[in-house]
Structure 1
């Protein structure tokens, strides 16, 4: 059996099947409901993890394009450390 591919609609559907709404989950977790709703357009690790924990699904599976997080990369050479004192 293959794993289901999670998208906005399947996540919301599964929450509803389990008798939960985004607003109620935000309230239970002490997260701003407004910030909670923005996960579809903005990354919000706290909200994403709350949903993943409630559903019992790894956050990396629910939001594969956002996890694992990669380290920030500095592209300009003048900002990279070369071990020399300036």
Structure 2
């Protein structure tokens, strides 16, 4: 039996993202399918199936809530990468390397 993923109650054995089949199995144990969960949240029926292959924070949160564990436990690698990107962005902002673009006025004043 493959024990490479954490169970719903055990602490993760590794910091690798769960295999998509393990995610689907955990959803089934909780009484859901990816399709049914997508429709339940008024999404395209295939929307949440994409979460198993590529990052989508909202979809990850919906799946994690259905399983009953935090998204960081299912996708620890994605979560770590997200935190690293945020930290780099904040560091650049603190160093003044990033500036926000000016917002354009909806009604620009006429020039003389």
Say whether the fold is shared (TM-score over 0.5): yes
Report the CA distance between 1:4 and its aligned residue: 4.8
TM-score where L is the length of structure 1? 0.71
Name the structure 2 match of 1:39. Answer: 51
**Structure 2 unpaired stretches of 5+:** 1-8, 99-112
1:3 aligns to 2:20 (yes or no)? no
Distance 1:17 1:54, change over 3 A: same
Q: How many angstroms apart in 1 are the aligned matches of 2:31 and 2:63?
A: 13
User: How far apart are 1:30 and its partner, in Å?
Assistant: 1.7
TM-score of the two chains, using structure 2 as the length reference? 0.57
Q: Is the 1:22–1:37 contact (alpha carbons within 8 Å) kept by the matching residues of 2?
A: yes
Q: 1:50 to 1:2 in 2, by over 3 A?
A: closer
Which runs of 5 or more structure 1 residues have no equivalent in the other structure? 82-86
Q: CA RMSD in A?
A: 2.6
Larger radius of gyration: 2
Retained in 2: the 8 A contact 1:49–1:59?
A: yes
Partner of residue 62, structure 1: 74
Cα distance in structure 1, aligned partners of 2:32 and 2:10:
25
Q: For the residues of structure 2 that align with 1:16 and 1:37, how far apart are their CA atoms?
A: 14
Aligned residues: 78
1:18 and 1:56 map into 2 onto residues whose CA distance is 8
Whether 1:26 and 2:34 are equivalent positions in the alignment is no
